[in-house]
Amino acid sequence: MPSFQQSLCLLALCVMPSMQACAQHWQDPSRHKVEFVTVDDGVRLEVLDWGGSGRPVVLLAGLGMSAHIYDGFAEKLSTSYHVYGITRRGYGASSQPSSGYSEQRRAEDDLKVFDELKLVKPVVAGHSIAGDELTQLTTYHPERIRAVVYLEALNDATDDYTEYDALCSKLPKSMQTAPSPSPSDLKSFRAYRDWRASTGQPFPESELRAEFAENSDGSVGAYRIPGSIPQAIMAGRVKHDYSQIRVPVLALVGFPKTPEEQMKENHVTDPAERLIVAAVYGTYVGMTRNRIKRINGAAGGAHVDELWGADHFVFLSNADDVLREMRAFITGLH
How many whole angstroms separate alpha carbon 226 and alpha carbon 12?
12
Topology of the domain covering 4-159+180-260+289-331: Rossmann fold (3.40.50)
The pLDDT tens digits of the residues spanning 297-316 come to 999 999 999 999 999 999 99
50 in helix, strand or coil? strand
Query: Domain segments of the chain: what residues?
Result: 4-159+180-260+289-331
DSSP string of 297-318? T-TT-EEEEEEET--SSHHHHT
pTM for this structure? 0.90
DSSP string of 187-249? SSHHHHHHHHHHTT----HHHHHTTEEE-TTS-EEEE-S-THHHHHHHHT-----GGG--S-E
pLDDT value for 178: 86
Q: Tell me how far CA of residue 97 lies from CA of 91, 108, 136, 205, 211, in angstroms.
A: 10, 15, 21, 25, 17
CB 250 within 8 Å of CB 154: no
In the chain, which ranges are continuous DSSP H helix? 4-8, 19-25, 73-77, 103-117, 130-140, 162-168, 173-176, 189-198, 205-209, 228-235, 259-265, 271-295, 314-317, 319-331
> Backbone phi, then psi, for 307, in 5-degree steps?
-115, 100
Residues in the chain with pLDDT values less than 50: 1-23
